[in-house]
Amino acid sequence: MELLEKLVKTVDGKKVLLVETCGPLEASLQCLLQRKGAMTMSCQWKTQQLQSKLHQADVVVVGSTKPKEIPVSWIRPGTTIVNCYPDFLSGEHGYGQDVKYSNQSAIEAVGPLTIAMRMQNMVKTSERWIQSQQYREWNLHCLKLQPLSPVPSDIEISRGQSPKAVDVLAKEIGLLADEIEIYGQTKAKVRLSLLERLKDQTDGKYVLVAGITPTPLGEGKSTVTIGLVQALTAHLNVNSFACLRQPSQGPTFGVKGGAAGGGYAQVIPMEEFNLHLTGDIHAITAANNLLAAAVDARILHESTQSDKALYNRLVPVVNGVREFSSIQLARLKRLGINKTDPGTLTADEINKFVRLDIDPSTITWQRVLDTNDRFLRKITIGQANTEKGFFRQAQFDIAVASEIMAILALTTSLADMKERLGKMVVANDKNGQPVTAEDLGVTGALAVLMKDAIKPTLMQTLEGTPVFVHAGPFANIAHGNSSVLADKIALKLVGEEGFVVTEAGFGADIGMEKFFNIKCRASGLVPSVVVLVATVRALKMHGGGPNVTAGAPLKKEYTEENLQLVADGCCNLQKQIQIAQLFGVPVVVALNVFKTDAHAEVDLVCEIAKQSGAFDAVPCNHWSAGGRGAVELAQAVRKAASQENHFKYLYNLELPIIEKIRIIAQKVYGAEDIELSPAAQSQISRYSKQGFGNLPICMAKTHLSLSHQPERKGVPTGFILPISDVRASIGAGFIYPLVGTMSTMPGLPTRPCFYDIDLDPDTEQVKGLF
């Protein structure tokens, strides 16, 4: 048809003869030609009326080589001939060399044009593919909010908004269909292949939300994070992404409740956000407990079997063949045994291979559960007769305290995660050398359990802006930040002028310090701005107000204007601003406003913050008004992000472990010095000898005070920071000193949140979450 359009101006009214064009080709040509107004006839070379039909035709389309006995003279002069058979290029078309001149007929073949069109199609397809791999401009349709007064409960607000289908949201922000794995209607995992596709895309601006030392009620960092991105995208038309941690079910059913934000600045659906989400914490629990089971099982089997029996079971004969697994070959290599045939190992080599010789007193790997259960803080395991008298004291930690959670938050790829999982130290052997997950042969299995958990989960805010929910380490017993991978993917998606807003747990002295010194080192990312969240309520507490207790009504000092308490408490805000300035990043103070706050109190806080070195300080009303209530904050953040950045780490990794701990204690917490227990001193010496001295420090400390004493508010001074113990998360890549007594398994209060949580059996709706 392409040739005919070039050779014949129009086929309308022309007689077209199809010779030997059988099957689909004939049917297609007849259809196309008749659409163009041509009259079509079909025949074979052996047809009796062939000469007559050839003479009548204006156009002849042939599907096979003309037989020699058919003379060219049968074709009327001026007839256009089109060849559709594959061997035309060989010259064997049967018309002779002078047919054009003798008959003045035009002979053309589809072969060369087919090749040209295929080449053209390949170019077009390649261009489309290349274009699909490039960054795509957002076409985001935000959801409208109609805030009510008084503000309904969080779950009522969440349920009152109809979220977009997650595949629609994904398309709006430039994700390809094969880059998401959908979980239900409102959640999707995002594949890491996106990082390769957008590797040349310039990152957006990187914003950290931190806070002052909080009350037990929390001061609303998650709410500020959500309010800020709603303001940026829904009200200022700036691409933005929120990156949040997945909440543990411990606090959700304990005291604190959920962590989806609150009021008109939250992630929806909030019940899905706060409960199982996409199962990442369950995967971590399974992986963690598999490793714990492997530790105790290995000790039992080594204590009850000979070297030969162990070897025969670890390297069994299968279908007449005996061979090492890949992880066993790696262990042999680490032991300096360069053999691959199981039958060639000497007795001494077999002994080295089968014996880990774990010292039970040095086991640091605990089982985990994502429930607050104080009675699992110390337990005895192995009491059944089948364990042959091997029992020991152990404990459960909350699931989010697992080192695997910390690894998930800090890893940069699947290969990196697998390597980190293998490096996790579970105990020491009887010679004082570390025993790892790789030594136990469980690395591959752990990676399999975590293969889906490594992908960030895409959700949305109340105003339809995108959110990544990924990883959830606590900030007081871990590093307290969402994942590096979520941040990296989001920074590519928002584009060069966009913003990624992530949140660090608890006060700036804890979550922010670890964000800079641990997370930024792992990611290589440089933050643009710190948003420091404060509340009048918390400042009054730091100024000498009465204790704030979760679940109890606030005292009148917190609900009535008291400028003196606010002014006195601003010392904590000033200290946290100074901590942020240690890292060379501009600070914007976000004052999370409550309805009981007086205008004079709000103005006073903003004034003191600016006098203390903050780039700006703005009151925020996103809880009651959504993104519209954080527009001023968003504008301040955009201005601060354009400032020159002098980001730097607090300490050099090459410094001794003790010196790094001392720098954090003195410069961040304001301690006079540190005091190491004998156990802590011994562990530091051991880790230094084992080659772990160059890792960053992750302090495990109370979040309720700058010091180690929760009751000391404001800015404590003159205290000595006690380091009771020092442990190592080698896979995650940090040393964590324990300050004072730190529990890694929360307990339930007298009246937990679960009293208010219920399910409607008719509608299947969750009630009572907050």
Active site residues: 221, 223, 245, 256, 475, 506, 594, 623
- Going by their DSSP bridges, the two strands 180-183 and 187-190 should be labelled as antiparallel
189, containing H or E segment: strand 187-190
Distance (Å, whole) CA 275 – CA 260: 11
What is the distance of C-alpha 181 from the center of its chain? 13
265, containing H or E segment: strand 265-268
- Neighbouring C-beta atoms of residue 610, cutoff 10 Å: 14
Q: First CA to last CA across the chain, in angstroms?
A: 67
SS (H, E, C) 370-385: CCCCHHHCCEEECCCH
Are 121 and 115 in contact, with CB atoms under 8 Å apart?
no
Name, in order, each residue with C-beta under 8 angstroms of 196's C-beta and a sequence gap of 6 or more: none
Q: Which amino acid is at 671?
A: A
Of the CA atoms within 13 Å of residue 261, those in its CB half-sphere come to 34
Are 307 and 347 in contact, with CB atoms under 8 Å apart?
yes
Distance (Å, whole) CA 232 – CA 638: 9
Are 291 and 367 in contact, with CB atoms under 8 Å apart?
no
What is the distance of C-alpha 344 from the center of its chain? 46
Q: Nearest-CA neighbor of 222 among 520, 498, 572, 475?
A: 475
**Helix 307-314, helix 280-304: angle, nearest 10:** 140
Q: Nearest-CA neighbor of 70 among 41, 101, 94, 42?
A: 94
Q: Which amino acid is at 417?
A: M
The string of DSSP codes covering 662-730 is HHIIIIII--SEEEE-HHHHHHHHHHHHTT-TTS-B--B--SSSSSS-TT--S---S-EEEEEEEEEET
206, containing H or E segment: strand 205-211
Residues in a beta bridge with 588: 531, 616
Distance (Å, whole) CA 306 – CA 584: 60
Name, in order, each residue with C-beta under 8 angstroms of 374's C-beta and a sequence gap of 6 or more: 745, 746, 747, 748
DSSP state of 146: -
Distance (Å, whole) CA 708 – CA 327: 43
- Find the angle CA(447)-CA(449)-CA(455) to the nearest 5 degrees: 80
Q: Nearest-CA neighbor of 611 among 562, 567, 548, 558?
A: 567
Peptide bond before residue 150 is cis, with ω within 30 degrees of 0: yes
